[in-house]
Amino acid sequence: MKTIAAVIAIVLVTAMLGLAQSSGNFNYNAIQTYCTDTGGLLGNGTAQTMLTTTMKVSSGNGVALVIRPSAVVGLLTDLSLGKLGNASSQAGVNFQVKVTPLSGQNQPTVTPSQPVTYDDRYISISTNLFNAIATQCDLIGGCYFNFNETTLSAHSFDWVVTNLSSGNYGITVTWTPYSTAQAPNTAQTCVGPVVLTATQAKIFDQNNGISF
């Protein structure tokens, strides 16, 4: 009897684990566009601006999608001081997630709804040494060489999609590189590799529990 009871217990636990595992939903997509440094030019020449996948959502209340694009980002900021004594350049990339109903559902809510900056670098150099060469530093209030740099980075970020209905959804990730610099200064941005993961989850309210 003990052996039969143990077998039944194992079967029940296995069934419960199977239900727990099958209740979730996961999908992913990836690209292998690598950033390489070839003579100061970042990137391998292949433009990749979109990554897509699909998810099938159950009909239960409180269902949400957690979407996470993770990316390697390379930034190049190259400055050259001229007679003006100042130079600046900026490079960065913004990521955005869009979710499209594929089974006639209403448009879901994507949070955040705006693009997220994964990397940004602004660099600035200024000096009065060129003017000071012809005069003396004491006569112009001292000599200076200023170097300013600001950085901002995420590399991965979670988008949460709510107000979902039963059916299929298309998930699109786009990224927009940007750079600003005036010759002879240069700024470039490259992206890759990128991995997109999407997971179906239940929203848990600590006060009210899980809604079904």
| Residues spanned by the domain of 65 | 25-80+91-116+153-205
Q: Is the pLDDT of residue 193 over 90?
A: no
Quick one: what percent of the chain has pLDDT higher than 90?
29
Predicted pLDDT of residue 50:
81
**Is 47 domain-assigned?**
yes
Instruction: Tell me the DSSP string of 5-34.
Output: HHHHHHHHHHHHHHHHHHT-EEEEEEE---
With bands split at pLDDT 50, 70 and 90, how would you rate the model's confidence at 178? confident
Query: What H or E segment, with its residue span, contains residue 68?
Result: strand 63-78
With bands split at pLDDT 50, 70 and 90, how would you rate the model's confidence at 42? low
Round to whole Å and give the CA distance between 128 and 169.
Answer: 58
**Is 16 domain-assigned?**
no
Find, among 50, 51, 59, 62, the residue nearest to 27 by Cα. 51
| Selection from 6-10, 58-62, 185-189 with the highest mean pLDDT | 185-189
25-34, 61-70, 187-196, 201-210: range with lowest mean pLDDT: 201-210
Predicted pLDDT of residue 6:
39
pLDDT in tens, 142-173: 676 777 788 888 899 999 999 999 999 999 99
pLDDT in tens, 63-98: 899 999 999 888 888 887 766 678 888 888 899 999
Structure tokens, 97: 């997630």
pTM reported for the whole predicted model: 0.74
**Is 71 domain-assigned?**
yes
Structure tokens, 166: 């039963």
The number of domains in the chain is 1
Predicted pLDDT of residue 46:
62
Q: Is the pLDDT of residue 62 over 50?
A: yes
**Is 14 domain-assigned?**
no
pLDDT in tens, 90-137: 888 899 999 999 999 999 999 999 999 999 999 888 887 766 665 666
pLDDT in tens, 12-29: 333 333 333 334 688 888
Q: Is the pLDDT of residue 32 over 60?
A: yes
**Is 171 domain-assigned?**
yes
Predicted pLDDT of residue 172:
94
**Is 189 domain-assigned?**
yes
The CATH number of the domain holding residue 97 is 2.60.120
**Is 145 domain-assigned?**
no
**Is 86 domain-assigned?**
no
